[in-house]
Structure 1
Amino acid sequence: MARAVSETHDEILIAASRRFAVTGYKGTSLQDIARAVGCSKATVLYHFANKEALLGKLMAPAITVLEALDARLAGQTGAAAQQVATEGFVDLAVRFRREIALLRGEFPDLLQQPAFAHIQQISERLVDAFAGHSDRPVARIAALVVLAGIAETCAEFIDIPDDELRPALLAVVRRAVEPVS
């Protein structure tokens, strides 16, 4: 009996997620995904225009939350910006740590793709917010280290319960960033 179109669509997403996690985005071909699903590459291309579209679909929920955080940061300054950035990014990273793990080590290359190009500007605004909009190098360095560290930690500790990971990350961020007065 043939699979339903939506079932195949979902199976492709699951297989792509697993393959990207194991061999990376660049190391995974559409043929690898098709083989994992038990369908043809043409079937994968029926559901997704290309590998980039497939990754875009997998990352869409996380990107939507990141864009909402960016919107919340607009107009925030100083300590308020730090608090919104800290809590918002930690929550996002904990919630979407499996998606973050998919991108591990490939984030700079992915930012070159049109669907992800705006993420670089959002990341820069997050660093600025973590730094409390300070131009001091020590504040900006700490902000960048914290931002990258949160993502890396969430990708590494996928199986730690949210209610343990979130407070640990918040505590580290609060110790690492320079408080704004």
Structure 2
Amino acid sequence: MARSNTRDEILAAAARQFARAGFKGTSLHDIAVEVGCSKAALLYHFDSKEAILTEMCAPAIAELRELDAKLAGLGPDAARAAAIEGFVDLVLGYRKEIQVIYGDLPGLLQQPEFQEVHLMTQRLQASLTGPSGSPASHVAAKLVLAGAAAVAFDCTDYPDDDLRAALIAAAARVLAPED
């Protein structure tokens, strides 16, 4: 009797494996062993490790796409505030997926499936940087992007509402306009 939820089991096992060993450090065999299926059965559901990652990250990418569209229609100050809140909500809602992406970011951004993510992330960074475009504002934006994700991975014992408020406040301080 075939298991009807094998696809979901593969995605869950892949998320655990990718979080533990990274995308590059995980093989299809590793995922299949954890699921308790053959590599052939896994390949029946997904044609590659990249396809598993793409499917696993699809909801997070869809929300990033929505945030990207929202930011495009806002002025600089409103875009910065919306970018902060939107990115914090994204990292809190998709900790595992973002941990995988951040863990292997340079390599993943070279894959065709993640080119759009790379472009949206650049636009998100531009919204956080603001109109000054100074080196300090670029560094601050990068710090917020990397820092919010890292804190979300590390602070899983804090209530999400408290962590969200703290991340938004910290990001706003880091991105405060220069005097």
Give the TM interval when normalised to the shorter protein.
over 0.9
Q: Is the 8 A contact 1:131 1:178 kept in 2?
A: no
Return the alpha-carbon distance in structure 1 between the equivalents of residues 98 and 119 of structure 2. 18
The amino acid of 1:31's aligned partner reads H
Taking the aligned partners of 1:28 and 1:87, their CA distance within structure 2 comes to 32
Rounded Cα–Cα distance in structure 1 between residues aligned with 2:79 and 2:120: 14
Q: What whole-Å deviation, never above 9, does each CA across 1:102-124 have from its counterpart, x for those lacking one?
A: 23421111111111011111111
Instruction: Give the match for residue 54 of structure 2.
Output: 56
Report deviation, 1:3: 3.0
Identity among equivalent positions (%) equals 49
**Deviation sequence 1:127-174 (CA, Å, 0-9, x none):** 111122322221121111111111111122233221121011011011
The residue aligned with 2:81 is 83
Deviation at 1:51, TM superposition (A): 0.3
User: What root-mean-square deviation, in Å, do the aligned CA atoms of Structure 1 and Structure 2 show?
Assistant: 1.6
2:155 corresponds, among 157, 163, 174, to 157
1:31-54 CA-partner distances (Å, limit 9, x unpaired)? 111111111100000000100000
Gaps of 5+ in 2: none
Rounded to whole Å, the distance in 1 between the matches of 2:79 and 2:110 is: 28
TM score, norm. by length of structure 2: 0.94
Return the match for 2:104 from 103, 106, 110. Answer: 106
Q: Secondary structure at the match of 1:135?
A: coil
TM-score, normalised by the number of residues in structure 1: 0.93
- How many residues of Structure 1 are paired with residues of Structure 2 in the alignment? 179
2:68 aligned to which of 59, 65, 70: 70
Instruction: Report the equivalent of 2:28.
Output: 30
